[in-house]
Amino acid sequence: MHATLLGCRRSLALRGERYWNSVAPYIQSAIRYLNVTANGRQWIANLYSNVFRAERDIALGGPQK
């Protein structure tokens, strides 16, 4: 069971890395377009909030319930 938890935690850690290393470079032009409107800026803020929250949850040992 311990190894399974470690594998799961590593998988969760990769999610944050995957966003910054793999996804972010491809959506930068879309981010620029979203930044034009207030609704778009809110969308960006929510996106980054979710990414940062996922990274924090990983650092704390997994999703908090």
pLDDT tens per residue, range 5-49:
445 555 555 666 777 788 888 899 999 999 999 999 999 999 989
More confident residue, 50 or 7: 50
Question: The whole model's pTM is what?
Answer: 0.61
Rounded to an integer, what distance in angstroms lies between the CA atom of residue 11 and that of residue 54?
12
Rounded to an integer, what distance in angstroms lies between the CA atom of residue 35 and that of residue 59?
29
Q: What are the φ/ψ torsions at residue 61 (nearest 5 degrees)?
A: 105, 15
What does the pLDDT read at residue 61?
60
| Amino acid code (one letter) for 23 | V
Q: Which two tokens stand for residue 52?
A: 């940062």
Helix (H) / strand (E) containing 41: helix 38-59
More confident residue, 15 or 53: 53
What does the pLDDT read at residue 34?
96
